[in-house]
Amino acid sequence: MCGVAGFCDFNKKSSIDVLKNMTDVLLHRGPDSSGYKVFMDPGAHIGLGHRRLSILDLSPKANQPMADKRQDYTIVLNGEIYNFSEIKKVLEDDGFVFDSKSDTEVVLKSFIRWGVDAVDKFIGMFSFVIYDKRLRKLYLFRDRAGVKPLYYHYNNGVFLFSSELKSFHKAPQFIKEIDQDALSLFFQFGYVPTPKTIFNNTFKLRPGHYLELDISSAKLSEVKYWDVIDYYNRPRLDISESEATNELEKILESAFRYRMIADVPVGVFLSGGYDSSAVAAILQSNSSARLKTFTIGFHESKYNEANEAKAIADYLGTDHTEYYCTTKEAQEMLEQLPGVYDEPFVDTSAIPTMLVSKLARQQVTVALSADGGDEAFAGYNHTENYVNRLRKNQRIPRFFRDIAGNEAKLVTDATKRYKGFNRYGIALINRLWKHRELYSADGLLPIITRPRCPNYKMYRLFRPYSDSNMDSTLFANFGLLSENVSDLDKCLSTDYQTYMTDDILTKVDRATMSFSLEGREPLLDHRIIEFAARLPSAYKYDNGTKKKILKNIVHRHIPKKLMDRPKKGFSVPVERWLRHELSEYLDIYLNKKELEKHGFFNYEYVCRLKKWYVETGNDYSMVWSLLVFQMWFNEWMD
């Protein structure tokens, strides 16, 4: 795990000093070594920078930027290619000679051998950049699920790239202009959806895509090499549930085993839920050494899973470490969020994720997380809600559904801009909107996307406000699913491309890397989702049983009585803190002077929201989103 940064400056004004500043702000991603290289192409100055966290081949031979012998190709890579040994053997049979034992050199020589098609051979998490000096092209790749981030900015003849947005603030050509469409999307979802970022002319590279920048023409192209939609659109596998369970366990064993490959200590985050228990159980059953597992506990029982995790660890026989976090420690982490998450980000589970990362880093350099199980195997409550609502929808004749949906839409569209509603009027509009969700054919999409803030509140908050463009995000891929795809799988595929990538994976990447810890995602091996996407829906969700096939596998290793309990969210009580211990934050950041620094929000409405929240606890999502944005603005824009 590392950090990459660089530029392609067609104005030929960027220097190695700019490159160093852009790269070294990523010190937390790679404290072990650094490297910088600037190329003077006839048409542009090209810079490749790297911060290294040493995981495979700890010697200087694996340092980056790394070039081939003839200096025709140069690479910087963030992430890991787990099957690099197998690919290396194929390349050696073709006559390639290796100087290091690193996966980076395998990626470089794979590209020399197969070009852009080399990416199809990789099992791993990665974002990497290759400069092809002969063809005068720059290539940027991102892994299939989007585990590793890669941002880029292109404006006024300057192309910038980095593992995190904070690098761009070190480039003098970067203009910090907030994209107001992205800002409204943030308030809707709690994150900025791919490919947008909070800034104009700045983007996230889509998972499963690569960029090609032709230096001779300055033309930038984005190319898709993998898409989970393609697998959901394929015919379902003709396979029994027993056969599917056996086959899935084999794939899981391979994926988990790959992610233990390292030249440094490796551990596992263990919450006690099915996903992390599956990872720990399968790994421990195939190892004579005791697996290191880590859990953060809370004294508030509503948020605490430490007891359950310890019971699982004791049963499996892992070397388990748990730490009970105090309220003060969690609140101190809250203050670090704007610096760690350099784009507005509301997920409060970032706090315990940072805490468990800090805990694990004291003993290991790599930690396996267990994200992706809910998206692949139907673990979320909203997935169940979507399926149940759709079943209700389908009991009503289509003619009446369309009439009801159209009527509700007309009323909500006509009234949502009006600013003078009391809470009873607002409740009526909200009911109409829910009515539309229930009866309108396309109105079910909001149940999947789960917007945090209703449109009518957005109109009152912003000055001025226009509807955000979801068609420019990966939510639009919902329309690419075949009619034959089940309603359940439509929900799962949408979550996999949006919420999982932009919320869950962003959370884990920044939290782990803030403590120079490599986070690996064994359940996001692409072979797992390619198999799961083609399974019959009933193997994943069946009559109220979520993650059915995954649970069957876990029960082979852990008694059902140890696992059979209500699911708890991995979070902290920020909602209560803001009304009591941390209420001063609302006065510090949501006052008139602070809000007028940018002028995006209606101050009078913010005051009403704040007062209503403190008195009743309602509108927490809106108030927390406002506070997060204001803290971010003070950190990065003020």
Positions marked catalytic: 2
In terms of DSSP bridges, do strands 266-269 and 219-224 run parallel, antiparallel, or are they unpaired? unpaired
Cα separation, 226 vs 116, in Å, equals 12
On the 0-12 / 13-18 / 19+ scale of CB atoms within 10 A, 84 is buried
Contact 309, 404 (CB under 8 A): no
Which distant-in-sequence residues (6+ apart) come within 8 Å of 90 by Cβ? none
Cα separation, 554 vs 278, in Å, equals 5
In terms of DSSP bridges, do strands 73-81 and 124-132 run parallel, antiparallel, or are they unpaired? antiparallel
Written as one string, the DSSP assignment of 65-116 is SEE-TTSSEEEEEEEEETTHHHHHHHHHHTT---SSS-HHHHHHHHHHHHGG
CA 498, distance to chain mean position in Å, is 8
Long-range CB contact pairs, 603-606, < 8 A, 24+: 605/460, 605/461, 606/461
In eight-state DSSP terms, residue 471 is G
Cα separation, 197 vs 498, in Å, equals 14
Cα separation, 601 vs 606, in Å, equals 7
Cα separation, 12 vs 343, in Å, equals 29
Residue 319's nearest CA partner among 280, 357, 282, 362 is 280
Helix axis angle, 381-395 to 423-439, nearest 10°: 70
What single-letter amino acid sits at 540? K
Cis peptide before 464 (omega within 30 of 0): yes
Query: Given strand 266-269, what is the order of strands in its sheet?
Result: 319-325, 292-298, 266-269, 366-368, 518-520
Residue 224's nearest CA partner among 213, 209, 211 is 209
CA distances from 221 to 128, 138, 211, 497 (A): 16, 11, 6, 21
Cα three-residue angle 159-160-163, rounded to 5 degrees: 150
Distinct helix (H) and strand (E) counts, the chain: 27, 17
Contact 276, 269 (CB under 8 A): yes
Residue 600's nearest CA partner among 505, 481, 463 is 463
